[in-house]
Chains A and B, each alone.
Chain A
């Protein structure tokens, strides 16, 4: 059974800091891993998708890495801003579960001005 763990569960940082969110998964047989953000009372917004053959993806101030063999991914946020405050979720698509995503519990990020 695939388990996805995100550490820390919550993080509070001052504006301008660089930060790293962690995601680990127990089954390394994955097709891809996707990072989302969820604002309170809202749906999920896709941030980055990393295929199993890739090592990292970048979008603006965000950089996501994937180490499939060790079952780890990190989301790096540079020069954090109060608008980055949200819950960040990682999700993996397993080779044996076809279409479904398995989500972590999320990291709740607060960036203080």
Chain B
């Protein structure tokens, strides 16, 4: 597609349930990123993919968080046993190059997660 596409755009879930957030990057972009933006806070890096591998997943806040990417395209961020502190906007981004260092990063509209 023309831009980074994320789904769902909004999700309300009960505490303890699992959620999956999907990201479809810009076609041809090999680098994919997940960030989190909590209310009143800045953007927090979660994980980075180069192709299907994740050379940097140091930002995942706990082992309840995991992510995968298949076919060098779509990525899924999974949060198990959700907690109220997981409520945030989850932003996906992509960039074109293999190393991702020198290129513009394009963000999606985000998935707004509310845990009740």
Contacts and interface: CB of A to CB of B under 8 A. Distances in A.
A49 interface: yes
B107 A46 contact: yes
B91 interface: yes
A99 B101 contact: yes
Contacts of B108: 43
Contact of B101 (A31, A43, A91): A31
Given A32-B102, A46-B106, A51-B102, A98 B43 contact: no
Q: Give the size category of A's interface with B.
A: 20 to 34
Interface residues of B, number: 28
A100 interface: yes
Contacts, number: 60
Interface string B47-69: 01010000110010000000000
Interface of B: 4, 6, 31, 33, 35, 42-43, 45, 48, 50, 55-56, 59, 91, 93, 99-110, 112
12 contacts: A31-B102, A32-B101, A44-B91, A46-B105, A46-B106, A51-B102, A98-B55, A98-B56, A99-B99, A99-B100, A100-B59, A101-B33
A43 B55 contact: no
